[in-house]
Amino acid sequence: MRRVALPEIGTFEVWRDEARALLGAGVRPEDLLWQRGQGAEDLFATDLPMVAGGPVTVPRGFVELARLVVCHSDPERFARLYALLWSLRDDRRLLEDRGDPRVAKLTRMAKDVSRDRHKMTAFVRFRELEVPGANRRRFAAWFEPTHHIVELTAPFFVKRFGDMDWAIFTPDLSAHFEGGALRFAPGAPRPELPQDATEDLWRTYFRNIFNPARLKPKAMQAEMPKKYWHNMPETQLIPELIATAEARARQMAEAAPTLAPVRAGKISARLRVPTAEVTEEVGDLHAALSACRRCALWQDATQPVPGEGPPDAPLMIVGEQPGDREDLEGRPFVGPAGQLFDSIAQRAGLDRRTAYVTNAVKHFKFTPRGKRRLHQAPNSGEIQHCRSWLDLERSRVKPKLILALGATAVESLTGDRRALMARRGGLERTEDGTPVLVTLHPSYLLRVPAAERAAAEALFEADLRLAVRELAALAEPPDP
């Protein structure tokens, strides 16, 4: 057994270089013991001199995945990654196999790390330090991450707080930004930090962004777990804000802005272009949908948005609901999420024009904010009411495979509301047995932080490739 010692600072880079060299030299995963920092010694391990190996190339998606997984607190993370790397030598497409338990486990670990990074960017609270004579203001914060995310997340704070000096102390590592240079140092116990005036600012900010009409204490605690509260000045306000939420929500409803339907109508008429894909049949559907009053969403939307595409398409793609742009144009997936979907689909060899593209809910649901209309997810009742329209489209098109984009589509098609992440890349079925391939909604990709976007897109692309393969398999005649 050989021991590979990894430093606490620069862990990923050293792991990557070591793994490349070991792989090139053909060292098997079971012969390695990976350790970060001052980990417990293994009596049977020997220190490993760097081995020279042949050139090794790995898929880009793996590097992005590894960058996150290396930050996980699971002591087995390095070994798991190396084992996958080892298997990728023989099967370079393994990473696309969502059903493979090793890939699934590492993907979950990467998600844990991403979530922890979000928490850090949202919940770090700086306190100002008095430094007489200093020409830059100086701040410090204490934070307790679940994973080893300080190095990966510090650049976010450099971008956001580049004009001041600051330090973030955590039990694992600390990050110091001084005079424009970022450096890392070992972890530290919680320092004594002064209360300061920025805390009032935070409280004012929190009071302003708190929306009493959307108060969900359980969701709020899931998003902002109590373990972070003691470092966050604004959390002292939470009990009071909850107690007064109902009255404030009533006031807000009374003062809500109203939309200008005339303006929306004009924009819609300008944008609506006759398209080859919109068939007669879909035209009928548009008229029928316009008369639908099963739920209240028709009232504020500009128009319903029916599906479009070949009436006998073998693939049906189902999204959530039209967005702002779709509501005005009357066509599905023409806005930012649709454009992103199209470009990834093209890379995956999926031609959207050959599919029937539609949504689980046919009217745009939103909250007006000044001149903007902010997307709101449809609730189960609305999904249920609109399901008969989707069923009608399914019974007309008779797709061989349905690609469900996001939780709403999956709920509408399968009736199953379990969490999506564990189901993505899996094949499920509608009540009448049509196969449904589950994946995320492309708008999710628009929201992930820039550093994780390439990895998230690669996974999404892999799901679309899977759809193409499934479709080809379904088109093959059954064995005689």
Binding stretches for ligand URA (CB under 6 A): 319-323, 326, 332-333, 335, 337-338, 359, 443
Q: Select 61 or 319, whichever has its Cβ closest to ligand URA.
A: 319
Q: Which is nearer to ligand URA, 206 or 444 (CB)?
A: 444
Of the candidates 286, 280, 396, 266, the residue with the CA atom closest to the CA atom of residue 331: 286
Closest residue to ligand URA, based on beta-carbon distance = 319
Min dist CB 317 to ligand URA, Å, is 9
Nearest distance in Å: CB 60, ligand URA: 27
Side chain identity at residue 77, one-letter code: R
Distance CA 145, CA 174 (A): 11
Shortest Å distance, C-beta 405 to ligand URA: 6
Residue environment code for 286-305, b if the CB has 16+ CB neighbours within 10 A, otherwise e: beebeebeebebbebbbbbb
Q: How far is the CB of 318 from ligand URA (least distance, A)?
A: 8
For 274, phi then psi, to 5°, come to: -65, 135
CB of 375 to ligand URA, least distance (A): 8
The gap from C-alpha 268 to its chain's centroid, in whole angstroms, comes to 31
Closer CB to ligand URA, 69 or 289, in the complex: 289
Q: How many CB atoms lie within 10 A of CB 142?
A: 22
Closest approach of Cβ 336 to ligand URA, in Å? 8
- CB-nearer residue toward ligand URA: 67 or 373: 373
Nearer to ligand URA, 64 or 320 (CB): 320
| Residue 416, phi-psi category: left (phi > 0), alpha (psi -120 to 50), beta (remainder) | beta
Nearest alpha-carbon partner for 321 in 388, 411, 383: 383
Instruction: Give the C-alpha separation, 188 to 173, whole Å.
Output: 7
Residue nearer to ligand URA on the CB measure, 61 or 322:
322
**In angstroms, what is the minimal distance from the CB of 459 to ligand URA?**
18
Per-residue burial over 312-346, b if 16 or more Cβ lie within 10 Å, else e, is: ebbbbbbbbbbbbbbbbbbbbbbbebbebbbebbe
Single out the residue of 185, 155, 153 nearest to residue 171, CA to CA: 185
Of 234 and 300, CB closest to ligand URA? 300
Nearer to ligand URA, 61 or 378 (CB): 378
**Shortest spacing between CB 322 and ligand URA, in angstroms:** 5
d(C-alpha 407, C-alpha 436), whole Å = 13
